[in-house]
Amino acid sequence: MCRKTLEQEASASSMTQRVLEWCTLRLSEGKPVAIATVIEASGSVPGKVGARLALTANEIFGTVGGAGLELKVINALKEMIQEEKAGGKVTTYGLNKGAKGLEVVPLDSLCGGRVSISMEVVMPMPHILLMGGGHVAQSIAHMCQGLGWEHSVQDTREEFSSSVAFPEARERHCNSVEDFLESENTDSINRFSDILLLGHDWKEDEDRLIGLLKIIDSSTRLGVIGSKSKWKAFSKAAIDAGIDPSRLDEVDCPIGLDIGAESPGEIAVAVVAAVLKRIKNDL
């Protein structure tokens, strides 16, 4: 193999790694990612086999060769990612406006080659923030590990947000509710797919609820453990604090599927089942 070919392959491999690292980072931030990969090419084409391009709702990284082909691919990926569902397809493009053949999309190009591109949407795995690190939170964390889901914990008490209590947690926050909320904004909090208020102190959970409703958007689901009377009091406090009443309709309280759960372990089963049900409904 000539030196030029080796250099080209090394460059392509490096770019592939950078695109995959970019995708992994965006997924860790809780963002769906759409990826296009050149899987087959013949004749004169702008992008060689292995070329990759990825995008989120507002960012693009990598390339499948540029020109009209890339614009077509980008538009197709944008349409796919808007659906926010995992899935994919393979499309073959003929780089000539007169290209023919079964399931071939002709392009206004003079290259004359043909390229097949795999396009898929990858959804981030659940990343559950457990606000309050008591028995229920520890049971949920244990179930997350078995499912390959991420979990993090926040508690004002060190012993309930430590590496001993949550050895597999991605993040551990031992701070006041105020300090935690001040360190977050709408973009950063989106790394969590679900936030569960499980605190030992009802006032802490009330402050969490009001503060979170001011910064989260619809991409982060919010749940509160508690009774109907507790939720009624929380709702009044939130409205008095200026929260739009319609935002409260987006909050799950009580959390979890209605299976008559009572013990921490049973509540964890109900909560994780509710998250899993939403995931399956989105597929």
The Cα–Cα gap between 139 and 12 comes to 45
User: Which residue do the tokens 């097949």 mark?
Assistant: 116
Per-residue pLDDT reduced to its tens digit, 91-127: 988 776 544 444 445 554 555 678 899 999 999 999 9
- Count Cβ atoms within 10 A of the Cβ of residue 258 and give its class: 0-12 exposed, 13-18 middle, 19 or more buried: exposed
Model confidence at 88: pLDDT above 80: yes
For residues 119-138, give the mean pLDDT.
96
The Cα–Cα gap between 16 and 14 comes to 5
Among 23-27, 94-98, 279-283, the range with the most confident prediction by mean pLDDT is 23-27
Model confidence at 282: pLDDT above 80: no
Task: Please give the share of the chain, as a percent, with pLDDT higher than 70.
Answer: 87
Question: What's 160's DSSP letter?
Answer: G
Q: What is the DSSP string of 177-188?
A: HHHHHHT--HHH
The Cα–Cα gap between 56 and 64 comes to 16
The Cα–Cα gap between 187 and 175 comes to 20
The Cα–Cα gap between 257 and 119 comes to 35
Joined tokens for residue 232: 């009624």
Higher pLDDT, 21 or 94: 21
Return the pLDDT at 105.
53
Per-residue pLDDT reduced to its tens digit, 157-192: 999 999 999 999 999 999 999 999 999 999 999 999
Are 188 and 219 in contact by the 8 Å Cβ rule? The answer is: no
Given phi > 0 = left and psi -120 to 50 = alpha, else beta, which region is 243? beta
Could you state, in order of their start, the residue ranges of all structural domains in the chain?
3-122, 127-282
pTM: 0.83
Helix (H, G, I), strand (E, B) or coil at 105: strand
**Alpha helices (H) along the chain:** 3-28, 67-82, 135-147, 177-182, 186-189, 202-213, 228-240, 245-248, 264-282
Helix (H, G, I), strand (E, B) or coil at 134: coil
Model confidence at 3: pLDDT above 60: no
Q: What is the DSSP string of 190-220?
A: TT-SEEEE--SSHHHHHHHHHHHHTT--TTS
Helix (H, G, I), strand (E, B) or coil at 25: helix
CATH classification of 127-282, choosing from 1.10.760.10, 3.20.20.10, 3.40.50.720, 3.30.565.10? 3.40.50.720
Return the pLDDT at 111.
56
